Amino acid sequence: MEDKENTALKWRSISGILISGGYGFIGSHVVRHFVKKYPQYRIINVDKLTYAANPEYLKDIENESNYIFIQADVCDYAKMEEIFRTYKIDAVIHLAAESHVDRSITDPFDFARSNVMGTLTLLQTAKTCWKKENYHKHLFYQISTDEVYGALHFGDDPFLETTPYDPRSPYSASKASADHFVRAFYHTYGLPVKISNCSNNYGPCQYPEKLIPVIIHNIVKRKPLPVYGKGENVRDWLYVEDHACAIDLVFHNGRIGETYNIGGDNEWQNIELVRLLIEITDRLLGRPPGDSLPLISFVTDRPGHDLRYAINATKIKTELGWQQQMNFREGLERTVAWYLRDSAPQPSL
């Protein structure tokens, strides 16, 4: 493994970091984290601005001298090459993706296009623009998901980095495919890559179509709170800023060619999570305890709905010293408070 001094020297020579999908939920937190913490890096946020993006998320840093936004589709090879050459891109943190499982069931082609072809396009651009003798100064970092590992039963051990891929939805299939291309570029061409697979994120700035923002939004509007099946599906939740810190650690200190699992050690059945959100949101709205409980509405389960995801994050903890900071209840309180602001995003569905 490289010693700390060499690693520090290497990263001092970095100028441009392309962060794709920087106006999305996780991407906006990652961009802010890097822009504020590393003024020596130039952060180039490349985002197509799909329905899930919101430039308001980064209003507070948009005038920073080390930040640039470019509206572009990561599938556009000519544009990616132009960006790499113009901005001297040394490293990529690739988050841009279609990310909603339900949408992937309705329209899988968009997912194959953005998630698979988009990743392949960026990989090919990096391979073309980076000289092989300088590969040690470059990095292609793929942000992936625990969903590529498939589904766990109750009592199964959490996913390890060595768990075979077994994607079940068009979304997870597209992410798995993208990860395979990333590893193929490492083995075939020697491109310096890293991958991390994270569990469900929560926090401010998530488009209100995913579970937590939808539930908060519907409590506010006194609309039914949709819960799939019997609400028994289990997800492992991590605060989005803890994910951004993990990405920072993997980016700087993770080993080339390696995968790191990132998770919250924080498994919740959907129905229990919805009850907790009701408790917090009703209180913050000044409503009586339990006021919104009757709004819970069980709906037909999502086809192929994975029962349980859980991550074993021992590797990133022991090897890189990562530790999540946010307590779940406090993180949810912050999230609910953020969605209760007047300016919070509204669903377009």
Ligand X SMILES: NC(=O)c1ccc[n+]([C@@H]2O[C@H](COP(=O)([O-])OP(=O)(O)OC[C@H]3O[C@@H](n4cnc5c(N)ncnc54)[C@H](O)[C@@H]3O)[C@@H](O)[C@H]2O)c1
Cβ nearer to ligand X, comparing 55 with 231? 55
Stretch that binds ligand X, among 77-85, 97-105, 156-164, 266-274 (CB under 6 A): 97-105
Residue 334 tokens, joined? 């912050």
- What is the distance in angstroms between the CA of the first residue and the CA of the last residue of the chain? 49
CA–CA–CA angle 5, 257, 315 (5° rounding)? 75
Cβ nearer to ligand X, comparing 35 with 198? 198
**In the complex, which residue's CB is closest to ligand X?**
24
191 conformational bin, left if phi > 0, alpha if psi -120 to 50, beta if neither: beta
Q: According to CB under 6 A, which one of 45, 99, 125, 335 is a site residue for ligand X?
A: 99
Question: Active site residue: 171, 202, 239, 309, which one?
Answer: 171
Cβ nearer to ligand X, comparing 201 with 292? 201
CA–CA–CA angle 318, 262, 19 (5° rounding)? 115
Tell the smallest beta-carbon distance from residue 257 to ligand X (Å). Answer: 20
Query: Do 53 and 23 contact (CB within 8 A), yes or no?
Result: yes
Work out whether 49 is an interface residue with ligand X (CB under 6 A).
Answer: yes
Q: Helix and strand tally (H, E) in the chain?
A: 12, 12
Give whole-number Cα distances, 167 to 113, 163, 306, in Å.
17, 12, 10
Cβ nearer to ligand X, comparing 53 with 216? 53
Active site residue 232: no
Give, as ranges, the residues between 11 and 30 that touch ligand X (CB under 6 A). Answer: 20-21, 23-27
Cβ nearer to ligand X, comparing 21 with 204? 21
Give, as ranges, the residues between 147 and 206 that touch ligand X (CB under 6 A). Answer: 175, 198, 200-201
Torsion 256-261-264-265 (CA) sign: negative
Tell the smallest beta-carbon distance from residue 314 to ligand X (Å). Answer: 18
Give, as ranges, the residues between 263 and 322 that touch ligand X (CB under 6 A). Answer: none
Question: Active site residue: 73, 90, 147, 306, which one?
Answer: 147
Nearest to 29 by CA among 63, 66, 65, 54: 54
Residue 37 tokens, joined? 């913490």
Tell the smallest beta-carbon distance from residue 255 to ligand X (Å). Answer: 20
Cβ neighbours for 160, distance < 8 A, ≥ 6 positions apart: 261, 312
Facing residues of 94 across strands?
Answer: 20, 142
Active site residue 38: no
Give, as ranges, the residues between 127 and 146 that touch ligand X (CB under 6 A). Answer: 143, 145
Tell the smallest beta-carbon distance from residue 228 to ligand X (Å). Answer: 16
Cβ neighbours for 102, distance < 8 A, ≥ 6 positions apart: 209, 302
Active site residue 146: yes
Tell the smallest beta-carbon distance from residue 22 to ligand X (Å). Answer: 7
In the complex, which residues of this chain contact ligand X (CB under 6 A)?
20-21, 23-27, 47-50, 52-53, 73-75, 95-99, 114, 118, 143, 145, 175, 198, 200-201, 207
Task: Catalogue the active-site residues.
Answer: 146-147, 171
